[in-house]
Structures are given as structure tokens and as C-alpha cells.
Amino acid sequence: MADYLPHTNEEVDSMLGFLGMSSLEQLFDHIPAAVRLSGGLDLAPGQSEPDVADYFSRLTRANKGQSAALTCFAGAGAYDHEVPAVVKMLSSRSEFVTAYTPYQPEVAQGVLQAIFEYQTLVSRLSGLPIANASLYDGATALVEALNMAAGATGRQKMIVSTGVHPHWRQVARTFAAGTGHELVEVPLLDGRTQWESVDLADAAAIVASYPNYLGVLEDLAEAKRWGVEHDALFVVAADPVAAGVLKSAGEWGADVFVAEGQPFGTPLAFGGPYLGLFACRSEQVRRLPGRIVGETVDSNDRRAFVTTLRAREQDIRRERATSNVCTNQTLMAVTAAIQLGWLGTQGLREVATRCAQGAHYLFDEALKIDGVRATSTLPFFREFALRVPKKASDVLRAMCDDGVLGGLSVGELCQGFDPSIDDAENVMLVTVTERRTREQIDHYVDTLRKAVR
């Protein structure tokens, strides 16, 4: 058994003696015997680190889908971006990794200032003035946006475009069971949300995705108009990398911006930990979920940072809090600040542009294959859907044999949730990041041609 416990047997005896006890078990004597566990936990005895590492090596070898084996063209909110050594090393500094929530600002200025910088970056990307210190992921950030809309309007009806990521819609539906929100999903036609096909009266929120989950860039002006007409909050779920060059949520008139922040320095990591980006207009600040860091001064009039507007939070407001969130994804927020610091103004534009260039090059080449078709006539950014003449999951499986993770099957991604596209089983979602070379894309097209034959 590996041992991270410092006490020697002599020290244990001495400490027990100080308490007038003779055994460690005696410390638990006040627990009713009827519920005590006799015989200890039914788990294998502890092993040394190298022994456990051997087990994990076997597990990792069983992950055939890792990047070294398959070139990644899958996205859907989780993207294979460049994360340089400098970001990995800075974000793994143990002062950031092993700190707690900054409840004692005098000894937590490092994390607090990093969050302040992160909030500034999210605010600028979203085009909205207020950003919080992060939420769990994009999906739960959307749930918090809906809760904010309910609080702001006193209404319960949430109009959500089916263009919003299917997992996010599922998460929203799960939590609506508790809040009582009515979720109305608006179908897509040719990749465009058909807002007028549902009854928008009494809406608390109008939620659009930019781009939508099929990669399509919809004109958000119509959604904004409906939001204004029905006095609902306009929520934009955005791709934060695309936000480096596209019109921001704020420019489209959004009241709330939510996004999955994984593209900013966090590895694919089988889906987590990621981080939810959240920004909103100033009038909603008292309804903001989670922590927010503000600038102030210390008693010697030096600049200092501190978590603020605390009266919204669960530990003070309890059952009337704006949210139950406590622990968030601070380390990922710090990582995002470092990654964006590394990219800088030009770097983010460059990454976004290269994603779009690679995606359009692949799209054009793929459409030259017999039987492969586009699913929408509308513009896209870095991700797009292709209709293939066989089951997409079979096509993707065949591509894996040639070392390509060719994307995700829309049918499988939606798992019974409305994909809002015909024959979703035959549609695959493909993405290209700045890490994909022309050679890899050409290879992709060859394997796709072979797989659909």
C-alpha cells in the first residue's frame, strides 16, 4: 500500500494517549454498533503506485480512439486544438491546481486575478459586459441561462432552437423537471430555425445556437426580433473560437451568452472537466449564477481582487439563491486565460480562420464524392453535416480502420432526441481544427470515398 499518511505508529499511540484512548477504533465507539461496518471495506488491499500504473497502462491501451491512433475530425463541442507546452506547464503549477476556492482573498490573489482576467476575456469575446467565474460546462451554463430568464421575466416558457446541441437540450430537459420550465423546441428546416412554427407568446427565453449544432450559421436577427417582441431574454449559445472572428453575441443583441469553453486550452479528456462560459448584460447581474470576482483595494489601499456580490450565492441566500453552484471549474478558467494570453489578439483570429479554411476545403473535396451530399445550403464555419449513402456509424467505423476519426453520427449524438434533420442515421458531423494538415484532409477524403463505396 502506498502511504501518504505521515504518522508513525509511535505518534499514533502518543496522540491516542493524549486523548485517553488506546486504539483508533475507540474514536468511532459513539457510532451505534448496529450500523458499524464489520470486517472493513470489501475492496482489494492497497497497491503501490507502479502497480496501479500498470493497470492504468492496460486501460489506456484499450482506448483505440486516442489521438495518436486516430486523426480527429470529431467536434460537437469538443475540439482538438493546439495546446502548447507553455500553457500545459503554467496551468499545472501546483499553486493553481491545489488551491481551494478563494474564500481568503489575502492569500488567494493569484487565482482571483487570473479569474478577473478570464472574466475580461469572456466579456470581450461575448460582447457583453459581465462574465462570471465559470460554470461546469456549456450544457449546464445553458440551464443557468434559462433559470436567469425565468427570474428576469417571471415566466416559465423556454423557446429553444433544435439547433442547440442535443446534449444541452437533454440536460435542460432533465433540470426542467425540477424548475417546472416548459421547454419548447423549435424545428430546423434546411438547417435554419423555424421560429414562426411555434407559439412564442409568454416566452421567458429565446435560445439560438451560433453556429448551430449542425454547423450552420443562422441569421440571428430574426431570433432577436422575436425576443424583443415577446420581452424574452435572448440567449446565444456560441462557439467561442468562432467568436474570435464572427459577430459577437452582444452585436447580435443577446442578453446572455453561453458557450463550451473546452477549446481554450483544455484537452478532449473524454468530455471533462471542461468549463461553461457565461456572460450577460449589466441589468441581470443580480441574477448571475455562481461566483464573480471584482476589483477593490486592501486596507493599505493597494489593488486587490475578491469574490463579490456574494449575497446572490447559496451559502448566504440558501433556498432563495440564484443558483446552487458552489464548486465551479476554476482551474479550467485559469487555463483558458493562459491559453488566450498565449494566442493573443492575432492568434485567436488565426486559429478561427484556419478552422474555417480547413473545414471549407474538406467540405468542397468531400462533395466531389459520389453519394456524399450537403444537408444545408446555408453558410457554415468550422463544422458541417454530410449526408452519406450508408449508415453514418458504419462509414465512420470503416474510416477508423484507416486511422481517421471521421466525425460523429448525428443519429447517435441525438440518441432519440429530435435531430431535426431527415434520416439522421445517415448524417455525420465533421469538424476541422487548425491542427489538421492538407495531407490529413486529403487522406480523410480518400478514406471517406472508400467507406461510402
Partner 1 sequence: MATNVSAPGGRAASAPLLGHESEPTMFELSVSGRSSYQLRTTGVPATPLDQLVPAEHLSKGTVALAELSERDLVAHFTRLSHRQYSVDLGAYPLGSCTMKYNPKFCDAIAADPGLNTVHPGVPAELAQGWLELLVSLEEKLCVITGMSAATLQPAAGAAGELTGLLLMRAFHQSRRDVRNRVLIPDSAHGTNPASVTLGGYEVTTIPSNDRGLVDLEALKCSLGPDVAGIMLTNPNTVGLFEEEIIEIATAVHDVGGLLYYDGANLNAILGAVRPGDMGFDIVHMNLHKTFATPHGGGGPGAGPVAVSARLEEFLPGPRAVRGANGAYEWQRPAHSIGRVHGWHGNAMVLARALAYIDVHGGDGLTRVAQLAVLNANWLRKRIEKTLPAAYDRVCMHECVLSATKLKEAYGVRGLDVAKALLEEGFHAPTVYFPLIVDEALMFEPTETESPQTLEALAEALERIEQRAIADPDSLHRAPQTTPVSRVDEARAARHLVATEDAASR
Q: Are 275 and 134 in contact (CB under 8 A)?
A: yes
Applying CB under 8 A, does 60 fall inside the site for partner 1?
A: yes
Which residues in the 311-330 window bind partner 1 by CB under 8 A? 311, 313-321, 323-330
Q: Are 204 and 156 in contact (CB under 8 A)?
A: yes
Q: Which residues of 72-97 are buried (b: 16+ CB within 10 A; e: fewer)?
A: bbbbbbbbbbebeeebeebbeeeebe
Q: Are 191 and 422 in contact (CB under 8 A)?
A: no
Task: Give the separation between CA 20 and CA 11, rounded to whole angstroms.
Answer: 14
Which residues in the 29-58 window bind partner 1 by CB under 8 A? 29-32, 34-37, 40-49, 52-53, 55-58
Residue choice 293, 369, 414, 452 for contact with partner 1 (CB under 8 A): 293
Applying CB under 8 A, does 9 fall inside the site for partner 1?
A: no
Task: Give the separation between CA 333 and CA 258, rounded to whole angstroms.
Answer: 14
Residue choice 84, 371, 389, 403 for contact with partner 1 (CB under 8 A): 84
Task: Give the separation between CA 387 and CA 448, rounded to whole angstroms.
Answer: 12
Task: Give the separation between CA 261 and CA 141, rounded to whole angstroms.
Answer: 10
Task: Give the separation between CA 21 and CA 82, rounded to whole angstroms.
Answer: 57
Residue of 364, 400, 335, 396 lying closest to 114 (CA atoms): 335
By beta-carbon proximity to partner 1, the closer residue of 15 and 199 is: 15
Q: Are 93 and 114 in contact (CB under 8 A)?
A: no
Which residue do the cell numbers 466531389 mark? Answer: 368
Q: How many residues bind partner 1 (CB under 8 A)?
A: 213
Strands of 144-202 (E only): list them: 157-161, 182-186, 188-189, 192-193
Task: Give the separation between CA 119 and CA 91, rounded to whole angstroms.
Answer: 17
Applying CB under 8 A, does 228 fall inside the site for partner 1?
A: no
By beta-carbon proximity to partner 1, the closer residue of 25 and 422 is: 25
By beta-carbon proximity to partner 1, the closer residue of 207 and 306 is: 306
Applying CB under 8 A, does 400 fall inside the site for partner 1?
A: yes
CB of 392 to partner 1, least distance (A): 11
- Cell numbers given for 64: 483505440
Determine which helix (DSSP H) or strand (DSSP E) holds 179, and give its type and residue range: helix 166-179
Which residues in the 243-272 window bind partner 1 by CB under 8 A? 243-248, 251, 260, 267-272
CB of 366 to partner 1, least distance (A): 14
Applying CB under 8 A, does 61 fall inside the site for partner 1?
A: yes
CB of 189 to partner 1, least distance (A): 19
Exposed, middle or buried, 14 (CB in 10 Å: 0-12/13-18/19+)? exposed
Which residues in the 116-155 window bind partner 1 by CB under 8 A? 116-117, 119-121, 123-125, 129-131, 133-134, 136-140, 147
DSSP state letters, 152-166? HHS--EEEEETTS-H
Applying CB under 8 A, does 212 fall inside the site for partner 1?
A: no
By beta-carbon proximity to partner 1, the closer residue of 211 and 227 is: 211
CB of 375 to partner 1, least distance (A): 18
Applying CB under 8 A, does 415 fall inside the site for partner 1?
A: yes
Residue 386 — φ and ψ, nearest 5°?
Answer: -120, 135
Applying CB under 8 A, does 285 fall inside the site for partner 1?
A: yes
Which residues in the 162-201 window bind partner 1 by CB under 8 A? 165, 167-168, 170-171, 173-175, 177-180
CB of 426 to partner 1, least distance (A): 16
Which residues in the 97-116 window bind partner 1 by CB under 8 A? 97-111, 113-114, 116
Applying CB under 8 A, does 86 fall inside the site for partner 1?
A: yes
CB of 157 to partner 1, least distance (A): 16
Applying CB under 8 A, does 22 fall inside the site for partner 1?
A: no
Applying CB under 8 A, does 434 fall inside the site for partner 1?
A: yes
User: Hey, is 149 helix, strand or coil?
Assistant: helix
